[in-house]
């Protein structure tokens, strides 16, 4: 984690310690991602964040969660990536005209200034939303709230993400249904989130995101 986030997390130090001890203390309760990847999204320095994609919680499938919302390790074959990410790439190709990425790892977006932050930072294998209400939401709300004053644009896929962005005070919210197969056809496809974010950044006289993935 980059040191620029220390002042944001310091008030939650005790809460984070309790959460991590609880996860480590229950040997029957595996969790994802690996402990060293829980705060991986915060490797992006705070002053380098140009836009935010708000996720829900990590992929609950072993080997998929890596601490970056919607991203999977580069070792996962492109044909094996989760359905939500597959749909994101479908919209990415349609919106931007790029080819299919060769990997589901979204590190290129991070390097361009995209904060890939899940609101819930851990999950039990095979149990989506199993760590909802444990306390991560309060911590990630503080992370997001620390960025509101910079007037950054936000991608919010699904009502929970949209409601969080609105409640925290973000003004430039690119919202649509979640890319999950259950909802993608209700308005995610055709929503053009990537080009819309760049339009907002350009209107603010800021550098656009390089969304291109190889």
Strands 114-118 and 51-55: parallel
Sheet holding 173-176, edge to edge: 114-118, 51-55, 154-157, 173-176
| Buried-exposed string 177-205: b where 16+ CB fall within 10 A, e elsewhere | bbbeeebbeeebbebebbebbbebbeeee
Q: Which candidate in 2, 26, 47, 57 is catalytic? A: 57
Q: Decide if 2 is catalytic.
A: no
- Give the Cα separation of 210 and 197 in Å (integer): 11
* Radius of gyration from C-alpha coordinates of the chain: 16
The partner residues of 115 in beta bridges, in order of sequence, read 52
Residue 85 near residue 101, CB atoms below 8 Å:
no
CA dihedral 144, 149, 155, 156 (to 10 degrees): 60
List the catalytic residues. Answer: 57
């Amino acid at each position: 984690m980059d040191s620029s986030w220390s002042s944001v997390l310091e008030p939650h130090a005790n809460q984070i310690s309790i959460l991590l001890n609880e996860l480590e203390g229950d040997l029957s309760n595996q969790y994802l991602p690996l402990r060293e990847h829980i705060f991986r999204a915060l490797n992006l320095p705070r002053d380098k964040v140009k836009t935010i994609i708000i996720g829900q919680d990590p992929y609950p499938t072993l080997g998929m969660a890596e601490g970056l919302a919607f991203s999977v390790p580069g070792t996962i074959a492109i044909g094996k990536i989760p359905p939500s990410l597959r749909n994101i790439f479908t919209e990415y190709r349609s919106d931007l005209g790029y080819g299919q990425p060769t990997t589901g790892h979204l590190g290129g977006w991070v390097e361009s200034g995209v904060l890939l932050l899940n609101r819930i930072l851990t999950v039990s294998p095979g149990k989506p939303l199993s760590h909802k209400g444990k306390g991560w939401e309060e911590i990630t709300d503080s992370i997001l709230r620390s960025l509101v004053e910079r007037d950054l644009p936000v991608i919010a896929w699904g009502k929970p993400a949209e409601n969080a962005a609105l409640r925290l005070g973000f003004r430039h919210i690119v919202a649509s249904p979640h890319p999950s197969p259950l909802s993608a056809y209700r308005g995610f496809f055709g929503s053009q989130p990537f080009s819309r974010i760049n339009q907002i950044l350009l209107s603010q006289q800021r550098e656009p995101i390089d969304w291109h993935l190889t």
